[in-house]
Amino acid sequence: MPERWWSDSFKKSNGYFGCETTRQAEIVTGFNTWAYFETKYTRSNVLYEWTKLNIFTRWVSSTKQTFLLLFDPKLSLRESILQSLSKTAISQLTVPFWPYPYVLEVLACLEEPAVWAIRDHVRDIEKEFHPSKAPRPEYRRLHDIARHAIHVSENLDVSVQNIETILKHYDLYIVSQGSDSYFGADEDIRNQIDFFRGYTANLRFRSISNEKRLQNEIQLAFNIVAQANAGISVEIGRAAQIDNSTMKTIAFVTLAFLPPTFISSIFSMSFFQCGGDNGWGMSDKFWLYWVFAIPTTVGTILVWQYWHKIFPGVHHRKPVVVPMLKEHA
């Protein structure tokens, strides 16, 4: 095995394919390939599960034997690959790439449920909308599903690229054997690999469609909540208008009764006397009222004006904005 295949960068990769011809004294002794695929399956409760397919093959030219190593497979995955490999025709064993059609078959069986699981989540979201009910979208759940959908599409993109790389190296291998065309087992293997390339590419289109549908639902949820908030704002505005009209009425009534109140206050003071034998009378000290009233009024107005200039933030604080529908933020 190549030493770089054990490096951390390869372990953290999201997928790859590589191959090399081994020689000893200019004599071909074998052909090695290594490949890595990932799939992500999202369950109904939005929990997920990663499945990693990490294989290494060694084809020995002298005996036409192939050794296949499968690293850390799940029991179900190992049984699926062994069952798929049991279908191999004897005529195909002479080709170093013969395990890949069967490995890709197992990979396709993992990728298809992953794509349809995202589709089921999207479909459930699409059926949740009820115009008669208040909008209460679960944004955290929507974004979690979107994250899983992105990972599924990424895995499919990498798988398609890996399969195309396998086909390219397969063609180079056939050419290196001195044949410019495919016959028999060579042609069958290539056709099978090419079939899974197209199949995986079509799954990728379905996955892209899931992402677009999900983004459409997320945008719809935002718009519905924004529309509901706008409706609440309109109702608040109408209530404010009603309050404003009420305040105008109160202000008008207050203004209408202010002059009579002022006049009655003036004549109720001890400066004026009425009734009795003397009739109407007014004290010669009435000027004291104006001496105190006018300066006090002017002083109050001046203090109010300069108070707002010196301490502008005391009476002009920023309003506290209370977010509506806080549970959807």
Q: How many CB atoms lie within 10 A of CB 56?
A: 18
pLDDT in tens, the chain (329 residues): 777 777 888 788 889 999 888 888 888 888 999 999 999 999 888 889 998 988 999 999 888 888 988 887 788 888 888 888 887 777 777 888 888 998 999 999 999 999 999 999 989 888 876 655 666 778 888 889 999 999 999 999 999 999 999 999 998 888 877 654 445 667 888 899 999 999 999 999 999 999 999 888 888 887 877 877 777 788 888 888 787 888 888 888 887 887 777 777 777 777 766 666 666 777 777 777 788 788 888 888 888 888 878 877 655 555 444 444 444 33
Q: What is the pLDDT of residue 113?
A: 93
Q: What is the pLDDT of residue 179?
A: 54
As given in the structure block, the two tokens for residue 4 are 């770089």
Q: What is the pLDDT of residue 196?
A: 93
What letter represents residue 210's amino acid?
A: N
Q: What is the pLDDT of residue 180?
A: 47
Ordered alpha helix ranges (H), 71-99:
75-85
Instruction: Report the residue count for the chain.
Output: 329
CA distance 55 to 36: 7
CA distance 165 to 10: 17
Contact 35, 45 (CB under 8 A): no
Per DSSP, the three-state class of 261 is: helix
CA distance 289 to 301: 18
187: nearest Cα among 99, 103, 105, 98: 98
The residues near 133 (Cβ < 8 Å, ≥ 6 apart) are none
As given in the structure block, the two tokens for residue 167 are 């086909």
Q: What is the pLDDT of residue 320?
A: 47
Q: What is the pLDDT of residue 115?
A: 94
134: nearest Cα among 64, 232, 217: 232
Contact 200, 69 (CB under 8 A): no
pTM: 0.67
Q: Which helix (H) or strand (E) holds 146?
A: helix 139-176
Q: What is the pLDDT of residue 90?
A: 77
Q: What is the pLDDT of residue 322?
A: 43
